[in-house]
Structure 1
Amino acid sequence: MSPARQYAVLVAGGGVAGISTALALAREGMSVCVLERTRYEQWRPGETLSPLAHAELSRLGVSLSERGEDFIPSHGIEAAWGSEQPRFHSFITNPYGEGWHVDRQRLDALLARQAEAHGVPLLRLTSAMKLEREQGRWRVHAQTASGEVELTCEAVVDATGRASSVARQCGARRYRVDALCSVSAVLEQPEGMAQTLLVESTPLGWWYAAPLPGRRVIVSLLSDTDLLTRAGALRPAGWCALLSATRHLQARVGTPPESLLFHIRPCETSSLERSGGERWVAVGDAASGLDPLSSGGILKALRSGRQAAEALRSALGGDDTAIPRYAEAQSSGFTQYLTARLGHYATEQRWPDAPFWQRRMEASAASAKLQTERAIP
């Protein structure tokens, strides 16, 4: 067992939300340490980053405009949703400039390097296994590649994604609204492919395709887990057959190769019952997981990291209301998101008898709130 290491704040999870929290704290001179269970080598889905993220990244001293081929500009979103023909939503007139198509591995690694440049210890291949509250401080038992270490801190941040492993240890429950799942493949990008995110709804659910750095494109099918299984979409032959039935998406990405590497990822809408408690907060997906349809996962991660850092600074400075205010703001934001999500799904009326759309059309804002009372086992 290594000697205890002491920090003001310990962050469990080195993704966008965790690193943004740590960076914001470090830039204010606070001692903070990040535990990351990987070396950033694991596959993470590519995403289209909203222009609104520019302001959040600039607060952290991060600029994507100078990163060359690591991050490529996004000109907007094309959506065949509620109609046969796609509608184009351009980023050109956005006051924050263009969006970005990002490779999450590269983005997370970039933010990790930025944190280390600000003196943040980032312990890779390390997970927080057990937390104990002692004399007003947290004692964290962490597992590393070489054994167990013990760290102490005044406050802890849960940035472990939908697992919410820290919050669960603190007694918080997580609730699920749906059972959405994505089945994705990364393909070679066709010559001359438009630098836009393409979304297309179908009777089974919906698809998206987005360019990635390195002349690649990510193609994803999203539906409820049981419907994907029933349609054979978890197998290459079934997935490819469904892709071939799309009107716009296959024309954009071409015919997939015979050998495909699939990435299957739960991406349900879900939330903690509370996003903070006695000297702990949850950020990003650990606080609440959004439907990828929102295209707001990274932006929410950056914002919640900044807001959590502000709450922790105040709390450690003696403001006992700071963390409850943060938790209430996260809860209010999730409620607003649920309303917007329901409205967006309601605009697609072409397949009222298809189970995926029937489930969403039958939901109202009130019933969605009731659905959140079903805890994830």
Structure 2
Amino acid sequence: MDTPDFEARPPRVSSHDVVVVGGGVAGLSAALTLVRAGLSACVLERTDYSPWRPGETLSPVAYAELQQLLAPEPLALETEGFLVSHGLEATWGSEQPHHHSFLTNPYGSGWHVERRHLDALLARHVQAHQVPMWRQSCVTHLERRERGWRVRARTPEGPLELRCSALVDATGRSAQVARHCGVRRLDWDELCSVSAILDRPPGHQERQLVVEATPLGWWYAAPLPQGRLILTLMSDVDVLERHGALKPAGWSALFSSTRQLSGRLGPLPAVARLQVRRCETSRLEHAAGADWAAVGDAAAMWDPLSSSGILKGLRTGREAARALVAALGGDGGALKDYDRRRAEEFTHYLFARQAHYAQERRWAGEDFWRRRLGTSVAA
């Protein structure tokens, strides 16, 4: 807790064209794009990049997008200890696993990454472009000015006041800036992930994402650097609660009932801690407004089944930055166009989500599957 002396200290004041609130993939993509376009930007990040973050697989197209963002600087993920991904295997719609190899992908292989380390890598690239970044910092006050915004933040070095012409909301599901502007979030489901980080079993050398559908939802397993593995159950919150899956014992019992994954990984070691995260399909009613734009999960959250989180973050960060550059240059329709494109993109995603879940009908009467098979895109 801050001491009274800390609160009483006068804030440092700094001015920038754009303040990016959130230092994940989407926010950092926006910051890099802004400074390369000639605008000044800074980043406020609430962590020091040490806490666990979801998102462990970098698809081939996302890797290509990342290379494009950082060019001409080389991107050597091997030096970060990340693992080449050879593809994915899914037991979905039948008892037989289906394989999808990256060997024939025009973008090459994918990667299994430690997400917090990937975000920290991007943050170092951003700072190399002389972009100020305050870590372990939180916004305490947002205020519209006659021209632009005033942002107050609590940082480890003391209170900070930032003045800017525009904001990027990269705060994830909380969408802090958009909520301040009165924008509603629209939800389509109550999906939740329950994950455990485990040591890889001896001899387990697979370099692919493995997905398995079950009556209560679906599981995935992916290798992580440093000999670890993430194992995740995806289902709706009420289903997870009903079956005790939010506690290690219930979660482990449900894993033992899987066919492909339990047979492949064998008995699990005792699980002491689970990572629980809401990851429902949702979007902001508007992804941009006067002098602000939302990116990544702040703008819209997609089902992890799409494996598009990192790619979406990179692309929306870039597109929002370009829209803000145009808007600050006098283009009155740039942010409206960005908002419209996000709404169209989300509609396309909903159709793809519906089609993918429709492939699995073995448990159409179970709550999790019934909700997705019977839900219209306009829900």
Q: What's the TM-score bracket when you normalise by the shorter of the two chains?
A: over 0.9
Structure 1 gaps of 5+ residues are 372-377
Corresponding residue for residue 235 of structure 2: 223
Q: How far apart in 1 are the matches of 2:39 and 2:24?
A: 19
CA offset digits 1:240-286 (Å, max 9, x no partner): 11111101112233322124221001010110000000010000000
Mapped contact 1:70–1:106 kept (Cα < 8 A): no
Change (3 A) 1:299 1:113: same
Say if 2:274 is the partner of 1:262: yes
- TM-aligned CA distance change 1:187 to 1:127, over 3 Å: same
AA aligned to 1:71 is F
| Counterparts of 2:74 and 2:190, CA distance in 1 | 35
Deviation for aligned residue 1:171: 1.4
Aligned to 2:305: 293
The residue type equivalent to 1:113 in the other structure is R
Partner letter of residue 367 of structure 2?
P
How many Å separate the matches in 1 of 2:189 and 2:28?
28
Query: What does residue range 1-377 of structure 1 map to in structure 2 within 5 Å?
Result: 1-61=10-70, 63-68=74-79, 70-190=81-201, 191-365=203-377, 369=378, 371=379
Distance 2:252 2:121 in 1: 34
Per-residue deviation at 1:364? 2.2
Change in CA separation of 1:72 and 1:143 when aligned onto 2, cut-off 3 Å? same
For 1:18, give the aligned amino acid: G
Which amino acid letter does the alignment assign opposite residue 51 of structure 1? P
Per-residue deviation at 1:69? 5.1
The aligned length equals 367
Deviation at 1:46, TM superposition (A): 4.2
CA pair 211-94 structure 1, distance change in 2 beyond 3 A: same
Task: Write the distance in 2 (CA, Å) between the matches of 1:215 and 1:284.
Answer: 29
SS of the residue corresponding to residue 29 of structure 1 reads: coil
Question: Cα distance, 1:146 vs. partner?
Answer: 4.5
User: Could you give the per-residue CA deviations for residues 52-97 of structure 1, whole angstroms, max 9, x where no partner exists?
Assistant: 1133212222654453352211111100000101100111111111
For the residues of structure 2 that align with 1:73 and 1:45, how far apart are their CA atoms?
18
Letter in 2 for 1:156: L
Secondary structure of the residue aligned to 1:67 is helix
* 1:257–1:153 CA distance, 2 compared to 1 (3 A): same
Q: Helix, strand or coil for the counterpart of 2:60?
A: coil
Q: 1:182 to 1:63 in 2, by over 3 A?
A: farther
**TM-score (structure 2 length as normaliser):** 0.94
Partners of 1:96 and 1:54 lie apart in 2 by 8
Kindly state the Cα deviation for residue 311 of structure 1 after the two structures are TM-superposed.
0.7
Give the residue type in structure 1 aligned to 2:174. Answer: A
For residue 235 of structure 1, report the CA deviation from its aligned partner.
Answer: 1.2
Helix, strand or coil at the partner of 1:328: helix
Q: Structure 1 residue 49: deviation in Å?
A: 1.1
CA distance in 2: counterparts of 1:5 and 1:92, whole angstroms: 49
User: Would the aligned equivalents of 1:46 and 1:212 in 2 still touch at CA under 8 Å?
Assistant: no
Q: Percent identity?
A: 56
Deviations 1:168-193 (A, max 9, x none): 00111111110000100011112243
Q: CA RMSD in A?
A: 1.3
- Relative distance call for 1:68 and 1:272 in structure 2 (3 A) is same
Write the letter of the residue equivalent to 2:239. Answer: L
Per the alignment, do residues 143 and 74 of structure 1 end up closer, same or farther by CA in structure 2, a change over 3 Å counting? same
More moved, 90-99 vs 247-256: 247-256
Q: Structure 2 counterpart of 1:256, which letter?
A: L
Q: Residue 341 of structure 1: SS of its match in structure 2?
A: helix
> Could you tell me the TM-score, scaled by structure 1's length?
0.95
Mean Cα deviation higher: 140-149 or 284-293: 140-149
2:149–2:164: 8 Å Cα contact kept in structure 1? yes
Name the aligned partner's letter for residue 219 of structure 1: L
Distance 1:15 1:179 in 2: 23
Cα shift at 1:26: 1.7
Report the Cα distance in structure 1 between the residues aligned to 2:270 and 2:74, rounded to whole angstroms: 38
Secondary structure (helix, strand or coil) at the match of 2:341 reads helix
CA positional deviation for 1:4: 2.1
